Amino acid sequence: MKTIGIVVGSIRKGSFSQSVADYIASKPVEGFEFKFIDIANLPLYNQDYDENSPEAYVAFRNEVKAVDAVLFVTPEHNRSFSAALKNALDVASRPYGQNVWSGKPAAVVSQSPGAISGFGAYHHLKQVLGFLNLFVLPQPEVYLGNIMNALDENGKLSNENVKGFLDSFVGSFVEWINKF
């Protein structure tokens, strides 16, 4: 059994990213399990902690080490990804030479209430992930615009077209992971 860690870039209660991630995680995939990796309570990365890391850093790094692949589901904040997600990327890539992201297959899903669909967040995140030596699924790219229109009144993904697209995307991601 391989484990796909899901990192949700929004820490807001009831976030659109969490709704998308919940849908993906709810779909069984033979030979795979999903595990959410929480980033909400990580102290801001500080290089002073490299020699004596807070327990939250140690636990987070161990969670990342334990997964076989990583799915990032991110909102767009000011044409980029969230500060909380950047902090998580920094925490698990430090101290220098101890990057626990390195070598893992990864994929990105971006979403936004706007029509641009998180395009900026997707590409900024993909650039950072490449530097961190994650192998990001090149296609299909996933930008979900006007996301609030794809959710029901309880915040659950309800749009059948979006669900079908995400199901196909997960299939492509699994094929990508199996290449490693």
Q: Which domains does the chain have, with CATH numbers?
A: 2-178 (3.40.50.360)
**pTM: predicted TM-score of the whole model, two decimal places:** 0.96
pLDDT higher than threshold 90 for residue 2 = yes
- pLDDT score for 80: 86
- pLDDT score for 126: 97
Residue 7: beta bridge partners? 72
Mean pLDDT of 50-55: 94
- Nearest 5°: CA angle at 82, between 59 and 178? 60
Residues whose CB is less than 8 angstroms from the CB of residue 23 and which lie 6 or more positions away in sequence, other chains included: 156, 157, 163, 166
Q: How far apart are the first and last CA of the chain?
A: 14
71 band by pLDDT with thresholds 50, 70 and 90: very high
Query: Could you tell me the sign of the dihedral formed by the alpha carbons of 67, 130, 113, 84, in that order?
Result: positive
